Structure 1
Amino acid sequence: MSPACSVDDLPVTDTDVLIVGAGPTGLMAALVLNRRGVPAVVIDRKSGPTRESRALAVQARTMEVYDQLGLADTVLAKANAALRIQVGGSPRGIGPNLSRLQHGYTRFPGIQIFEQSRNEELLVGALTADGGYIRWRHRLLDLQDRTSAPDGRVEALLEGPDGALLRVRARWCIGADGASSAVRRELNLPFEGRTDDATFWVADVRDVRGVPDEAVNIRPGKRTFVAVFPLGPGGHIRLLGLAATDTITQDEALATVEAEFGLELGAVEWFSTYRVHHRVSAKFRVGSIFLAGDAAHVHSPVGGQGMNTGLQDAHNLAMLLADVAQHRVDARALDRYERERRPVALTLVNVTDRAFTIIGRRGPSAALIRNGIGVLAFGAFPVLTRTPLGARLAGYIGQYRIRYRYTRGGTPLPEWARDPVVGLRMPPTADNQAAFGAMTWQLHTYGAGTTARPEVPEWIDGPRDFGADPRGRLRTDRLYLVRPDHFVAASIPLRDNTVDPAQLSAALTAHRIAYG
């Protein structure tokens, strides 16, 4: 910049939300905001969507989000389904049948193997079809939050593909720019956790013989273990393995798999090595700047949770920002993002960290432990799948069992929060899932019949009755307040089909619903 030119002389773009990062998390946030009518600017250093497959699994809860956006059918048509988890190479296929365990709890049981690159392609296509725009090859140089001042904004200095500088002023900023997040660095936030000592490798391979179809296959061995993910028909798979040494070549890794597990491998499309990080940002929000996805948390890829957690961070946050931008909830409700999503990340990181304490170790003793767990699994899985615990665990894998806490721990629950479904996403029954396409707060009843509309803001839809829940999860004597992200915000008692006004008022106040 010449001495005669100052930052104030640069061209300025004003928007509601600046999104730094156009991976799955940033793209999901941009698409939801666009559908809600909230202007956003999306930037990314890359020249376009990710080409490598990277993350693979799309879990049931993410499919529900895609369904709300009208994208689920596209994923189902292009994905490869993994309906069960198999431990070992036995054709008997020990391990939980996820599809069976999740049936009735979600409309999308099982795991859809749909690579990160294809998720990005899907989201970019939907965003641009809606008139959205991504500024590729734009780098964040500086970020300042001046929103505490009168008429203040978040101000960003960007460098474009030709080296030209420009400014963006936004009401909020979302840092969705990955584990090496420039936004997190600008906020000077610690990325707390550790890096695992072991080296892992990943390979996409074709024409593999000896692997099951429609299953995620976990194989413990004497020197290593591998996880096999089905990418497509004809033995097209992703291999994820533990390296026997700190450095390993493609030939060494695949030779070990062939020798130890008897797999016949074909052409290799992609190979890489990496260390596993287990880290969570100290905060997910500082003022008007938020972190989401890998910028906020990173962990083991085993279990297929990472990309899904980032997509759901974005869905939660974008719906919340849209509600505040449209004066539907008070700005104080922004505190809820970190309160809800950071515990999800902490739990996930702790679980995967413990798992890697067992499976991510080398040597004979570690192999004995891994194989012992495999033997225990052989006996435990058939029993587990016949118990309620099996369905509950399947719900956590599918991420539709995530629960948000709306009240402080240690205090008595108000009546509107005592129903077990409060804090969970609304379970599917009848055609209630189709209603979420409206992306607004809603009032539902289930078998209550005609209920008079209570005194609520006009933009809250309902009440709508969907008939009695055949599984008994939803009560006939309750009016349910449901958020735009599908989560049950409150269960209000009905007396003679009339809403309890005191409990409704308390729930609306707790959720910072704005009147007027």
Structure 2
Amino acid sequence: MADERPGSIDVLVVGAGPVGLTLAAELQRYGATCRIVDRAPQPTDKSKAVIVHARMLEHFDHLELEQTFLARGTMVHSVSFFVQSKRVAQLDFVGTDTRYPFVLCIPQDVTENILGTRLADVGVHVERSVEFLDFDQDDGGVTSRLRHPDGSIEEVRTRYLVGCDGSRSTVRDKAGITFEGLAYEEEWILADVQLETDFFVRDEASLFVELRHFLAVFPLPGDRWRLIAVRKVADPTEAAAPATVEEFETVLLKHTRRAVRVFDPIWITPFRIGHKQADRLRVGRVFIAGDAAHIHSQVGGQGMNTGLQDAINLGWKLALSVRGQAEPRLLDTYEEERLPVIRSVLWGTDLATRAFTLRRKVDQQTLNTLGRFAIGLLPVHDYLTRSISQVGINYRARGYTSPAPADGARQRQWGRRPRLVAQPGDHAPRAPHLKLLPDSPTIRLYDLLRHNGHTVVFLQGKRQTDLAGDAVVDFARELRDVFGDELHFIGVRLRDTWKASTFGFPLVHDVAAEMHKAYGATTPTVIVIRPDCYIAFRSAWQDRNTLAPFLSAYLLSTESTASLEPT
């Protein structure tokens, strides 16, 4: 069987783990057709990656899936660090600037079930027991060869190919992408079990760090716990011995100084870890994401979350490209934006892993001191919680983002503390208390971003000006005439000189000026928010004519079918 029609399917996604499922759902959401195949005959039944961080929950909120995730997971509001059974420090996520100030512990098989159900709801089903073999590409597309369960070979023609097929990625291998890194010497053991003890609490994760020993304990749904520990091995080249309940009871006794009964294991296994990174994420029309592009230590639960954000970054860009609304330059920004993030995650997880697997007594003493004092410092605490929850990830000064103005102009436009306000490349701040005019129901900014395009936001500015609503609407029409329905518009006012009757798009009242403060909108300001909720552009109103040239470097002109006339 063969499908040789160019572009009959826009994208072939190889791999139906969380990253592949998310990418396929994003493509379908933005109007691109796709197929998703996986060589495994059925979804995983293992918990595997069990942590979903705040940044991903924010995106699941955007997809209206967050309540499903929250109902099936366990919220962890803090992480405690123990040395010799005594708590020496605590990271508290409650103060993190997000709607989800916690870590959600949820088994990967549940995550895949939620995402797979969403995908099936929009008419895309995973094709299982289908093995990706190789591909050829040319200027017009990619021809991939797939082996079906009956042994037949299918050739499928698509515009793009994306490998989400794990650390042993065939797509990466066939694309000639280098995947290099190191393996850690330590052997690890993992178990999903029940515990009989009162040492741990259900809304807290516990990390035990001692010389040559490490134990992590996370709550899971259904009164279960995830245990991860370092195992001493005499010869790291020998095959790992099976992990046992008794081995974990010994580890728990050492770290908690009390007997803990471990029972009813549903998954218990030894494993080794390493950190590797692809040297690039794209070869022509072929891309890689998730574990196909990066693997690293499980410390901090960064792996799956980083892969999911790969998919979110890439999905809308591919969709715009296949819809004929993007310049080729837009796809280049996937690698430009994600590779620095991946490098940063690998650096951070490697540093943490080495800290948690100490070999020298002096290192233990240093860590104890850092744990007791440094984490207690507010800047250090905030940096760690923002890094772990991934709400601090940004694309400033790279990829599809406009440059920030020089320091002097920045201070004039953004106020006295310009470094604290949202900049191009940052994730759009929440602004949860807006009033939609004219009827004034309370609404969040993110509620107004639930569409498939870019959003141009006009902020009235804190300072009194004579900028009329008619001028804003005229400028929006000019943009719509060039870029069509890809652009959506929102007006944000502080004063009633802007009237809902003037605007042909949503106008909201910034009740406590929190959105103006978050965006540093001292004077009238223009913001562009990308489909992935990152800020692409900002300027003062008087510099608004720089917006169209900026967008033209990435987006193609299209015909509009919508009106901006007030209703």
TM-score, length basis structure 2: 0.81
Name the SS of the counterpart of 2:110 in structure 1: helix
Is this contact kept in 1: 2:106–2:221, CA < 8 A?
Answer: no
In the TM superposition, what whole-angstrom CA distance separates every residue of 1:119-168 from its partner, at most 9, and x where no partner exists? 1100100000111121111001121112x2xxx32001111112121111
Cα distance, 1:200–1:91 mapped onto 2, change above 3 Å = closer
Q: Partners of 1:21 and 1:70 in 2: how far apart?
A: 24
Give 2:525's aligned residue: 478
In the TM superposition, what whole-angstrom CA distance separates every residue of 1:256-290 from its partner, at most 9, and x where no partner exists? 31330233322222111121111110110000000
Q: Does 1:425 align with 2:416?
A: no
Counterpart AA for 1:343: P
Gaps of 5+ in 1: 1-8
Q: Partners of 1:487 and 1:52 in 2: how far apart?
A: 33
Q: Does 1:507 align with 2:550?
A: yes
Name the SS of the counterpart of 1:126 in structure 2: helix
Q: CA deviation at 1:346?
A: 0.8
Counting only pairs closer than 5 Å after superposition, residues 78-227 of structure 1 correspond to structure 2 as 78-88=72-82, 94-98=89-93, 100-102=94-96, 105-146=97-138, 148=139, 152-209=140-197, 210-227=199-216
Counterpart AA for 1:462: F
Q: Partners of 1:406 and 1:80 in 2: how far apart?
A: 36
Give 2:491's aligned residue: 464
Counting only pairs closer than 5 Å after superposition, residues 315-394 of structure 1 correspond to structure 2 as 315-361=312-358, 363=359, 365=360, 369-370=363-364, 372-382=366-376, 384=377, 387-394=378-385
Q: Partners of 1:173 and 1:61 in 2: how far apart?
A: 26
Is this contact kept in 2: 1:174–1:289, CA < 8 A?
Answer: yes
Q: Does 1:50 align with 2:44?
A: yes
Q: CA deviation at 1:405?
A: 3.4
State the number of aligned residues: 488
In the TM superposition, what whole-angstrom CA distance separates every residue of 1:180-233 from its partner, at most 9, and x where no partner exists? 000011012110211111111111111342222211210113551111111136
Is this contact kept in 2: 1:359–1:370, CA < 8 A?
Answer: no
Give 1:441's aligned residue: 454
Cα distance, 1:86–1:407 mapped onto 2, change above 3 Å = closer
Is this contact kept in 1: 2:166–2:291, CA < 8 A?
Answer: yes
Give 2:505's aligned residue: none
Q: Partners of 1:71 and 1:375 in 2: how far apart?
A: 41
Q: Partners of 2:324 and 2:520 in 1: how far apart?
A: 31
Q: What is the identity percentage for the equivalent residue pairs of Structure 1 and Structure 2?
A: 30
Counterpart AA for 2:156: V
Counterpart AA for 2:536: A
Q: Partners of 1:220 and 1:392 in 2: how far apart?
A: 21
Q: CA deviation at 1:439?
A: 2.6
Cα distance, 1:223–1:412 mapped onto 2, change above 3 Å = closer
Name the SS of the counterpart of 2:514 in structure 1: coil
Q: Does 1:66 align with 2:21?
A: no
Is this contact kept in 2: 1:493–1:503, CA < 8 A?
Answer: no
Q: Partners of 1:221 and 1:92 in 2: how far apart?
A: 12
Gaps of 5+ in 2: 415-421, 433-443, 462-467, 493-507, 560-567
Q: Which moved more, 1:161-170 or 1:75-84?
A: 161-170
Name the SS of the counterpart of 2:185 in structure 1: strand
Q: Partners of 2:58 and 2:131 in 1: how far apart?
A: 33
Q: Which moved more, 1:31-40 or 1:454-463?
A: 454-463
Q: Does 1:25 align with 2:19?
A: yes
Q: Partners of 2:281 and 2:452 in 1: how far apart?
A: 24
Counterpart AA for 2:66: A
Q: CA deviation at 1:436?
A: 2.2
Name the SS of the counterpart of 1:266 in structure 2: strand
Q: Does 1:405 align with 2:405?
A: no
Cα distance, 1:75–1:93 mapped onto 2, change above 3 Å = farther
Q: Which moved more, 1:457-466 or 1:288-297?
A: 457-466
Q: 1:303 aligns with which of 300, 305, 322?
A: 300
Q: CA deviation at 1:421?
A: 1.9
Cα distance, 1:373–1:332 mapped onto 2, change above 3 Å = same
Counterpart AA for 1:118: V
Counterpart AA for 1:504: L
Name the SS of the counterpart of 1:250 in structure 2: coil
